[in-house]
Amino acid sequence: MNRDAVAKISVRGLKKSFDRKTVLTGLDIDCAVGESLVIIGGSGTGKSVLVKCILGLLRPEAGSIRIDGVETVGVSAGARERLMHKMGMLFQGGALFDSLKVWENVAFGLTAGRSVEREAAREIALAKLAAVGLGREVGELFPAELSGGMQKRVALARAIAAEPEMIFFDEPTTGLDPIMADVINNLIQKCVRELGATAVSITHDLVSARKIADRIAMLHKGLIIWEGPTAEIDRSGNPFVDQFVNGRAEGPIEMEIRAL
Amino acid sequence: MLSFLRAIGAGFFAFLGATGRLFLFALASLARVLRPPYYLRATLRQVIEIGYFSLPVVGLTALFTGMVLALQSYVGFARFNAESSVATVVVLSMTRELGPVIGGLMVAGRVGAAIAAEIGTMRVTDQIDALSTLSTDPLRYLVLPRLLAGLLTLPFLVLVADVLGVFGGFLVGTYKLGFNPAAYLEQTHQYLEAKDVVLGLVKASVFGFIVTLTGCYQGYHSRGGAQGVGQATTYAVVSASVLILLSDYFLTQAFFTR
Ligand SMILES: Nc1ncnc2c1ncn2[C@@H]1O[C@H](COP(=O)(O)OP(=O)(O)OP(=O)(O)O)[C@@H](O)[C@H]1O
Ligand SMILES: [Mg+2]
């Protein structure tokens, strides 16, 4: 299969740094149409930064990000807004609007972004909430009245409410119990299989990664150091990946810590 | 000596840069008014938040300002037998100067700080990024409604302040200083022109814009968690207050000295 011809998202030579700190150092990655890509990697390696660059929320210093074959780095605000219609994002911290009720949060992309009627949007929102295991009564609460895991699920419902072509999940199962985590995994699979969406997920949860990923890529020191089909993660032959998958403190990935 | 000059120069350019960025931010936000969508619900909410909920604090300060003004000018004018000008002094000072300035400063403390804290928190918790991913322009959804609300509601707020200030002067004048109520009102009318009130309200509108603009700007550009938001709030109130007093001078010069 010629990846370049069908790539939904194609990143080349991406560089991003903050003040003195370099995070991404010329990263390349592709994601095919309808594919579920999972990005793994140590804490603070720049996974969230990568996704924010693809979404256009952060501006990279160098490199190219093509979506459907069209360059998106440095496009006009209007073009960016049209691009955003194709994308949904679950933020690591949820990023729920705390001045709005839960259902208004979920319906936000429909009412504000796509001018759907409030009542119709409300019904869609309640249906999406039900899909993440939250009842109608939760819809009337405010985000601050929910537990962390519930907030995560509301954020997930919001990200998929408008059924975007491309969905980004930043740690979708962190902070959920194992059963709810599996419900969310199923939901992500459903988005990809039934809606034909392209999904890019970030996770530390390898159970989840194995379940939702078609392909897994590992980020380390600003580069993708390994990528391959999900089945190959256990025989990658890459010492970094092995250390990460087996969760060992000893190995080539040095944690910047000192013993007590 | 050289390093002293360099410090002044650097400070000056930093000030110019900051003003320029504030100006561009205002321009970019206001340009959104030219094209739909408009967020009427969000705008209405801000009008209520800024206009209605500021009434008590602005009203109370205006009332006492009017009362103090009457007392002070009476004491001063008594020294050259000009006590009869008290009513005129109160009404002119309130409408031309103190109503707008006190209203602006009180709103800077109440509303400017709240705006900076709210938008700043939204910034550091990714809510502003979330708006963009939901196809909603943050400047249009968050900033423009606040700017318009500041621009449009401050004149009404200050009109109330004017009335209450004059009323405060009237209370002190009649109950404490022994003026005849009818004569006091007569004098209040005598030298007041429509221009005094209207130009005062124009000032109020400018101040409302300044307060909401600095609040939005500082919040929008805040970074670094709770501490960053706290800093943004402080900067918003301080820069709004300074800009109000600065622009007040120039507006007064443009409006009232000819
Ligand atoms: N807005 C920012 N300003 C400055 N530095 C930042 C900013 N955002 C991220 N960074 C830095 O970039 C690096 C990568 O951050 P990022 O959030 O992408 O990590 P991550 O891989 O998502 O980690 P985690 O798994 O813990 O979420 C971090 O070291 C962080 O300090
Ligand atoms: Mg992250």
Q: What is the CATH number of the domain that holds A36?
A: 3.40.50.300
pLDDT classification of B175: cutoffs 50, 70, 90: very high
Distance A168 CA to ligand 1 centre (A): 16
> In the predicted model, is pLDDT for residue A103 greater than 80?
yes
A36 within some domain:
yes
| Interchain CB distance below 8 Å, A95 and B129 | yes
Give the per-residue pLDDT at A30. 94
Give the per-residue pLDDT at A117. 87
Q: What is the mean pLDDT of residues A166-178?
A: 91
Give the per-residue pLDDT at A6. 65
Span A48-67, pLDDT tens digits: 999 999 999 999 999 999 99
DSSP E strands, A3-158? 7-18, 21-32, 36-41, 62-67, 70-71, 87-90
- Residue A15: which domain range? 1-86+198-260
Q: Would you give the distance in Å from CA A105 to the centre of its chain?
A: 18
Domain count, chain A: 1
Asked, as a colleague might, if the bond just before B145 is cis with ω within 30 of 0, I would say no
From the list B39, B130, B135, the residue facing A85 with the nearest CB is: B135
> In the predicted model, is pLDDT for residue B218 greater than 80?
yes
Distances (CA, A) of B88 to A124, A234, B67, B181, B208: 63, 88, 13, 14, 27
> In the predicted model, is pLDDT for residue A142 greater than 90?
yes
Q: What is the mean pLDDT of residues B37-64?
A: 94
Which range is least confidently modeled, A209-223, A239-253, B117-131?
A239-253
A257 within some domain:
yes
Q: How far is A3 from chain B (nearest CA, A)?
A: 26
- Going by their DSSP bridges, the two strands A7-18 and A36-41 should be labelled as unpaired
Give the per-residue pLDDT at A56. 93
| Interchain CB distance below 8 Å, B134 and A113 | yes
> In the predicted model, is pLDDT for residue A1 greater than 50?
no
Q: What is the ipTM of this complex?
A: 0.90
pLDDT classification of A47: cutoffs 50, 70, 90: very high
H-helix or E-strand containing B28?
helix B2-30
DSSP E strands, chain A? 7-18, 21-32, 36-41, 62-67, 70-71, 87-90, 166-170, 198-202, 215-220, 223-229
H-helix or E-strand containing A161?
none
Of the bound ligands, which one is closest to the alpha carbon of residue A170? 2
A111 within some domain:
no
Q: Is B120 left (phi over 0), alpha (psi -120 to 50) or beta?
A: alpha
A210 within some domain:
yes
Give the per-residue pLDDT at A3. 47
Q: Which of A19, A53, A97 to mutate to test the interface with B (most CBs of B within 10 A)?
A: A97
A161 within some domain:
no
Residues with Cβ within 8 Å of residue A78, at least 6 apart in sequence: none
A116 within some domain:
no
Residues with Cβ within 8 Å of residue B29, at least 6 apart in sequence: B139, B140, B143, B144, B147, B216
- Do B234 and B228 meet the contact criterion of CB atoms below 8 Å apart? no
Span A104-138, pLDDT tens digits: 999 998 887 677 888 999 999 999 999 888 999 99
Give the per-residue pLDDT at A253. 81
Report the number of secondary-structure helices (H) and strands (E) in chain A. Answer: 10, 10
Give the per-residue pLDDT at B255. 87
| Interchain CB distance below 8 Å, A93 and B141 | no
Instruction: Say what percent of chain A tops pLDDT 90.
Output: 65
Share in percent of chain A as helix, strand, coil (round to 5): 40, 25, 35
A141 within some domain:
no
d(CA B134, CA B191): 56
Strand-pair partners of A223: A220
Counting one residue from chain A and one from chain B, the pairs whose CB atoms sit within 8 A come to 59
pLDDT classification of A259: cutoffs 50, 70, 90: low
pTM: 0.90
Tell whether A148 is within 8 A of chain B (Cβ): no
